[in-house]
């Protein structure tokens, strides 16, 4: 098995990196948390995506050492999502205590979201391949605020780095200005938390809190293989409730709806369950409209 750490070190010597970036990346690669992460996850990470991996490691290192106004109260952690290295943000103890008190009462719930997503604005959202998504986002907001009929959310499908999560954050921020509360969460991280909750017997209460959000956004759905349990008892239960209650729901995914159905049809053990996948997708299609987002990978050369 090829060693990702040494491939990243080689990448450091590539010609098109700026001197500053090379120096900072070198420090980042020598960080003990980064080394430990690479050691533990070497086999799970796509070793061809070197520049994307480097960008995530750089982001992690930067946020670990320099707290910006936005990342204050949160700590970054490297995770593997869809065979890529990503950075997730978790509230530190102080923030957790504060959030425990206010999270579900407050009008804005962002779970595990990066600092740049917290400040995302529709005004800054532009570029090729994204106009359709932007127009649909504005339509959604207008309909949601001004009409009494059910307004489906968006299913943003597109490649890694095209700005899907950013757009979700921007919509949530815009709705927040109108006192509408949005719950935006990284679905794979939520799934892991749910698995960890089994032993503590509070899965049901967590699912019940999430499912009632006025607006729910499930980011990066399909990035990991889902167990049948997560698919049917967690995701299925949440979507069923939201369909009955006509509650708008957003998704982002590297998959189109059709590809997601195929992905959901195979469970973690490799068993085929096409009927169950179809049932989930019927709910997804009721709750949201598919929009394909294209464009360059914004995680590179930002």
Nearer to ligand ADP, 165 or 173 (CB): 165
Q: What does the alpha-carbon distance between residue 213 and residue 104 come to, in Å, rounded to a whole number?
A: 9
Q: What does the alpha-carbon distance between residue 237 and residue 256 come to, in Å, rounded to a whole number?
A: 22
Q: Could you say which of 164, 186, 211, 231 contacts ligand ADP (CB under 6 A)?
A: 164
Q: Does 296 bind ligand ADP (CB under 6 A)?
A: no
Q: Does 160 bind ligand ADP (CB under 6 A)?
A: yes
| Selection from 99, 104, 101, 102 nearest residue 214 by Cα | 104
Q: Does 165 bind ligand ADP (CB under 6 A)?
A: yes
Long-range contacts of 133-142 (CB under 8 A, 24+ apart): 133/167, 133/291, 133/293, 134/167, 136/289, 136/291, 137/167, 137/170, 137/171, 140/171, 140/248, 141/171, 141/174, 141/175, 141/178
Query: Which H or E run includes 288?
Result: strand 288-293
Nearest distance, CB of residue 150 and ligand ADP, angstroms: 26
Q: Which does 255 bind (CB under 5 to 8 A by kind): ligand ADP, Mg ion, none?
A: none
Nearest distance, CB of residue 160 and Mg ion, angstroms: 8
Q: Which does 115 bind (CB under 5 to 8 A by kind): Mg ion, ligand ADP, none?
A: none
Q: Which does 271 bind (CB under 5 to 8 A by kind): Mg ion, ligand ADP, none?
A: none
Q: Could you say which of 20, 105, 123, 124 contacts ligand ADP (CB under 6 A)?
A: 124
Nearer to ligand ADP, 143 or 297 (CB): 297
Nearer to ligand ADP, 207 or 217 (CB): 217
Task: Please give the structure tokens belonging to residue 167.
Answer: 């757009």
Nearest distance, CB of residue 276 and ligand ADP, angstroms: 27
Helix, strand, or coil (residue 45): coil
Q: Which residues bind Mg ion (CB under 5 A)?
A: 165
């Amino acid at each position: 098995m090829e060693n990702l750490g040494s491939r990243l070190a080689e990448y450091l010597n590539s010609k098109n990196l700026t001197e500053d970036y090379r120096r900072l990346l070198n420090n980042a690669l020598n960080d003990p948390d980064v080394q430990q992460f690479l050691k533990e996850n070497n086999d799970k990470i796509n070793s061809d995506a070197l520049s994307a991996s480097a960008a995530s490691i750089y982001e992690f290192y930067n946020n670990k050492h320099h707290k910006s106004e936005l990342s204050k109260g949160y700590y970054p952690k490297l995770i593997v999502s869809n065979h890529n290295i990503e950075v997730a943000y978790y509230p530190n103890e102080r923030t957790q205590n504060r959030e425990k008190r206010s999270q579900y009462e407050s009008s804005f719930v962002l779970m595990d979201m990066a600092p740049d997503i917290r400040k995302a604005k529709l005004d800054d959202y532009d570029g090729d391949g994204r106009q359709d998504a932007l127009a649909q986002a504005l339509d959604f907001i207008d309909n949601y605020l001004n009409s009494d009929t059910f307004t489906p959310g968006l299913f943003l499908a597109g490649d890694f780095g095209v700005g899907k999560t950013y757009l979700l954050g921007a919509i949530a921020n815009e709705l927040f200005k109108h006192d509408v509360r949005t719950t935006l969460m990284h679905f794979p991280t939520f799934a892991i938390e749910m698995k960890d909750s089994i032993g503590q017997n509070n899965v049901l209460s967590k699912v019940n809190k999430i499912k009632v959000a006025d607006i729910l956004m499930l980011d990066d759905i399909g990035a990991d293989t889902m167990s049948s349990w997560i698919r049917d008892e967690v995701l299925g239960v949440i979507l069923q409730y939201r369909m009955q209650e006509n509650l708008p729901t957003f998704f982002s995914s590297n998959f189109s709806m059709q590809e997601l159905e195929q992905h959901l049809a195979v469970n973690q053990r490799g068993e085929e369950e096409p009927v169950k996948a179809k049932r989930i997708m019927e709910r997804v299609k009721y709750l949201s409209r598919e929009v394909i987002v294209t464009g360059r990978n914004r995680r590179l050369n930002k």
